[in-house]
Amino acid sequence: MQIQRQENVLPDIHEYLKIVILGTGTPRAFYGRAKAGVAVLAGDKTFLVDCGGATVDQLIKAGIMPQRISDVLFTHHHSDHNSGFFDVFITSWRTHVTAERVFEGRKGPMNVYGPTTTKAIIGKMRESFDFDANLRVHYNFSTGEGADIHYFENNEGVVYEQDGLKITAFEVDHRPVYPAIAYKFEYKGKSVVISGDTIPVENMVSHSRGIDLLIHESYNKIWLDALIAKFPEQTIGLSNPAKYHSTTWEVAEIAREAGVAHLVLTHHIPAPAANTEAEADYMEGMQNIYSGRITMARDLMTFELK
C-alpha cells in the first residue's frame, strides 16, 4: 500500500516564539502571494492570526498540520483576512492519517478571538456550513464538541494568558472597517506585534516599544501613484489603500519611534516581485527613517525569537 507521506512536519514543542508568515497578499490575487495569515508557535500551542484563502495549504507547506490549530485570532473582517476560516475549521477538526503517523483532529471547540463584530460575522459563516458539520458528526463520527466555536471578543486588553504566553489586543484604525485590532505576543522574554490593517496610530507605537519583531502592513505610495497615472479609470480602486493603510515611510517612522529591533513588511500593495531588486525598490527611503533591520516578507518566511 502506497500512501502519500506528510513531509517536513514541525515538532510539537517550541520553547521560543516562532512566527511563520503564511500569506503576504491582499484582496487582489498575485502569484506566490497568499491571502493574509500568520502562525505563531509557543510551547505546545499554535495560534493563527487571520486566515485568508489558502491558509490550510500554506500551513501544510510550512510543515504545520492544521490539526494543531484550535485558536484563531482575527484582526478584522475583510475577506482576505477571514475567507479561509471554513477550511481551517473543518480541516483542524478532521483526523489525518499518513503512512507513518496519525494526526488527531481537534476534539474541542474552536476558540475564536477578535473585535466585537466577530461573533456576528463568523457565526454566520458557521451557520452556513451546518449541513457539512452535521454530516461530520453523525456519519463520520467526528467529536460533536469539535463542531462548536467559543468566541472571545475584545478590542483592548489581554485576550490570552497561559503557560507563560500573553496575548494582548489593541485597537488600530482601518475605517471604514471598525473595529480593527492588532495583537502583541509575549513569551519567555520575547515579543512580537502583528498589526493587521491600519493607518498609523499611537497605539501601535506604544504597544511596540522595544519589541523584538514588528510585522506591519504597508503600501508603496510612489508605486500606487504611478499606477493611478497610468490607469486613471481605476483611480478610485487604486487610491483607496491610502485611506486605511500605512505607507512604507510611515511604517518606518513607527518602527523608529518605538525602537523596534526588527521590522517585517507584509500585505504588500502593490505586490513586488519576490526578488531582491524589486523588494529594495519597494523599501526605498525607509532606511533613511529607521536604521534597524527591515525585511520584506515572502510567503512561508519564518522568524525565530530565541
pTM: 0.93
Rounded to the nearest angstrom, the gap between the alpha carbon of residue 52 and the centroid of all alpha carbons in its chain is: 8
Work out how many domains the chain is built from and give that number. 1
In a domain, 5, yes or no: no
Inside any domain, residue 1? no
Among the residue ranges 7-16, 35-44, 229-238, the one predicted with the least confidence is 7-16
Q: How confident is the model at residue 303 (pLDDT cuts 50, 70, 90)?
A: very high
Tens of pLDDT, residue by residue over 208-226, are 999 999 999 999 999 999 9
3-state secondary structure of 237: helix
Could you report the per-residue pLDDT of 82-103, keeping only the tens digit for each? 999 999 999 998 878 777 887 8
Determine, yes or no, domain membership for 159: yes
Q: What is the mean pLDDT of residues 161-189?
A: 97
Encode burial over 260-274: b for 16+ CB neighbours within 10 A, e otherwise.
bbbbbbbbbbbbbeb
- 121 in a structural domain: yes
Does some domain include residue 7?
Answer: no
116 lies in which domain range?
14-305
DSSP state of 140: S
CATH assignment at residue 80: 3.60.15.10
Q: For residue range 104-160, what is the model confidence (pLDDT) as tens digits? A: 888 999 999 999 999 999 999 999 988 888 878 887 777 878 789 999 999 999 999
- Whether 70 is in a domain gets the answer yes
Give the helix ranges, DSSP H, for 169-220: 202-208
| Residues 6+ positions from 154 with CB-CB distance below 8 Å | 113, 115, 116, 169
Q: Is residue 62 part of a domain?
A: yes
For residue 274, give the 3-state DSSP assignment.
coil
Whether residue 6 is contained in a domain is answered as no
The pLDDT score that the predictor gives to residue 8 is 59
